[in-house]
Chains A and B, each alone.
Chain A
Amino acid sequence: EDKVVQSPLSLVVHEGDTVTLNCSYEVTNFRSLLWYKQEKKAPTFLFMLTSSGIEKKSGRLSSILDKKELFSILNITATQTGDSAIYLCAVTGGTSYGKLTFGQGTILTVHP
């Protein structure tokens, strides 16, 4: 059975801090790992990672995958209050229909 574990489950920081969110996984025939940001409503897509060691970057957010050690990290630098959200990690495995297995999520709270 595919499994995704995120840590920490919650995190409180102040604006300007840098945070690192962790995601470890077990999946049969790994295809991709995805990060989503969920504020009040729909999870919104951040990154898709398929290859080890290649950093994906978007503004202050970046992510990298280690397929040997089966984990990924999401970094947010110079955090802002607008970064407060639940960050979800998910993986797709050997099936063709793109089933996502999600972790529990990390609740990030950024105080002014």
Chain B
Amino acid sequence: NAGVTQTPKFRVLKTGQSMTLLCAQDMNHEYMYWYRQDPGMGLRLIHYSVGEGTTAKGEVPDGYNVSRLKKQNFLLGLESAAPSQTSVYFCASRQGGSNQPQHFGDGTRLSIL
């Protein structure tokens, strides 16, 4: 009954370091999303994917890259981490078709020093 699984759960980086966050879903969902959540700002979409091999920018894509080589996995990369990227990152997925809710993972808390 895994649903959406994010790894790692916590990470501390130094400015300029790179890392990759992994999202895996076992529901055979077509659509996957990466959001960041900051205090007082709700969740904001970073990048999304409408299927294997496709990615697109959301509303706050700068400083991030993504890849969807396999349908079940969606990776979020930070090439050169900055303190402004300190946040909680959530991955979500949903079925194709209209009016399907997104299902979220438990989040990754990332601190950039």
Contact = CB atoms under 8 A, between A and B. Distances in A.
B31 A42 contact: no
B48 interface: yes
Nearest to A50: B99
Interface string B20-52: 000000000001010000001111110010100
Interface in B33-83: 33, 40-45, 48, 50, 56, 58
* Interface footprint category on A: 20 to 34
A102 interface: yes
Contacts of A48: 99, 101
Contacts of B58: 99
B4 A42 contact: yes
B105 A104 contact: no
* Interface footprint category on B: 20 to 34
A75 interface: no
Nearest to A36: B104
B100 interface: yes
A99 B34 CA distance: 11
A90 B102 CA distance: 11
21 contacts: A34-B102, A36-B104, A41-B107, A42-B90, A42-B106, A43-B43, A43-B104, A45-B101, A45-B103, A48-B101, A50-B99, A90-B43, A96-B50, A97-B48, A99-B33, A99-B45, A99-B48, A100-B102, A103-B42, A104-B42, A105-B42
Given A44-B104, A88-B43, A97-B50, 19 more contacts: A31-B98, A31-B99, A41-B106, A42-B90, A42-B107, A43-B90, A45-B102, A45-B103, A48-B101, A90-B43, A98-B94, A100-B33, A100-B45, A100-B102, A102-B42, A102-B43, A103-B42, A104-B40, A105-B42
Interface of A: 4, 31-32, 34, 36, 41-45, 48, 50, 88, 90, 96-100, 102-105
